[in-house]
Amino acid sequence: MARTYYNASPLEGVKDDYNERLNNNDMQSLASFISKWDQRNQDAHQQIALFDTERTKHWNNHQKQLFAQLFYYARGRFHEFMWIMGNKAPTFEAKEMIVDNFREEFGRHGPSHEQLYLHFANSLGASVGTPETYWPFLHEYNQGHWNFLKEKDWDTCAAAFTGYERLDNLDYEDLEKTAKSIGVSGPALRFFEVHKNANHFEMTSKDLQEIWDKSPQKVIEGFTFIAEHQNKMWKQLSDAIFSSKK
Ligand SMILES: [Fe+2]
């Protein structure tokens, strides 16, 4: 069945529902908020062609390489996100949580995530990290994260960070399917596997309940921003690849 691709933000409904509930003093649990947020993100992916393997399997070599080149900049600037967080972290425990995330990025005893990414990109013959493949919408995406983190208080930033980690599990499950559909296989898929199975959400969610109990609005704001911002970027990345037919 043909899919229709959305323009409106699929997360808008979540924010509105929750604002309404909070105003009515009809408090929902954190678990119920997250489960609804997960569902909305799944629905959003359904409407982005990048996650439709019936379509991505027809990409030509140029489009496959462009995917690796653009996606690199959607992920390859995460260290700056964490750097801002670490410098803002108010406690030793919060700083340790960020440092542990860096350890994870460096792959602990195995190859770093950057090395795994390069392995994936090389398997498609794509050279990544060149300035001309850092397209304006990717600059905007990264800058949008950094502006949010600089502007908001720690609890809202911590919630956003946790939302980011949670989204990773969903994103990478679908991105792995996209990668397989364009012929990526074997060790070149490792980058997707480690992220699909990462337990970063558990690592970062320790304080989420506490933040929710103090101020559900901060969790809602952080999670909603992350999801809307990211789904907008996936749509732009998807459009960029499908409209590039060199
Ligand atoms: Fe990573």
Distance (Å) from CA 113 to ligand 1 centroid:
5
Distance (Å) from CA 82 to ligand 1 centroid:
11
The pLDDT of residue 103 is: 94
Distance (Å) from CA 100 to ligand 1 centroid:
12
Q: Which amino acid is at 182?
A: I
* Pairwise pLDDT comparison (200 vs 146), residue with the higher score: 146
Confirm if 224 and 165 have CB atoms less than 8 A apart: no
Distance (Å) from CA 241 to ligand 1 centroid:
23
Distance (Å) from CA 34 to ligand 1 centroid:
22
Distance (Å) from CA 20 to ligand 1 centroid:
36
Distance (Å) from CA 19 to ligand 1 centroid:
33
Distance (Å) from CA 165 to ligand 1 centroid:
10
The pLDDT of residue 12 is: 53
* Residue ranges covered by each domain of the chain: 60-242
What does the alpha-carbon distance between residue 97 and residue 242 come to, in Å, rounded to a whole number? 38
Q: Is the pLDDT of residue 7 over 70?
A: no
Distance (Å) from CA 107 to ligand 1 centroid:
8
The pLDDT of residue 96 is: 94
Distance (Å) from CA 75 to ligand 1 centroid:
8
Q: Is the pLDDT of residue 58 over 90?
A: yes
Distance (Å) from CA 98 to ligand 1 centroid:
13
Distance (Å) from CA 181 to ligand 1 centroid:
22
Mean pLDDT, the chain, as a whole number? 89
* Vertex 44: Cα angle to 218 and 112 (nearest 5): 75
Average pLDDT over residues 164-185: 95
Average pLDDT over residues 175-183: 98
Q: Is the pLDDT of residue 4 over 50?
A: no
Q: Is the pLDDT of residue 121 over 60?
A: yes
| DSSP secondary structure string for all residues of 175-195 | HHHHHHHTT--GGGGHHHHHH
Domain 60-242, CATH number (from 3.40.50.2020, 1.20.910.10, 1.20.1530.20, 1.20.1250.20): 1.20.910.10
Distance (Å) from CA 189 to ligand 1 centroid:
13
Distance (Å) from CA 195 to ligand 1 centroid:
6
**46: how many CB neighbours lie within 10 A of its CB?**
15
Distance (Å) from CA 25 to ligand 1 centroid:
39
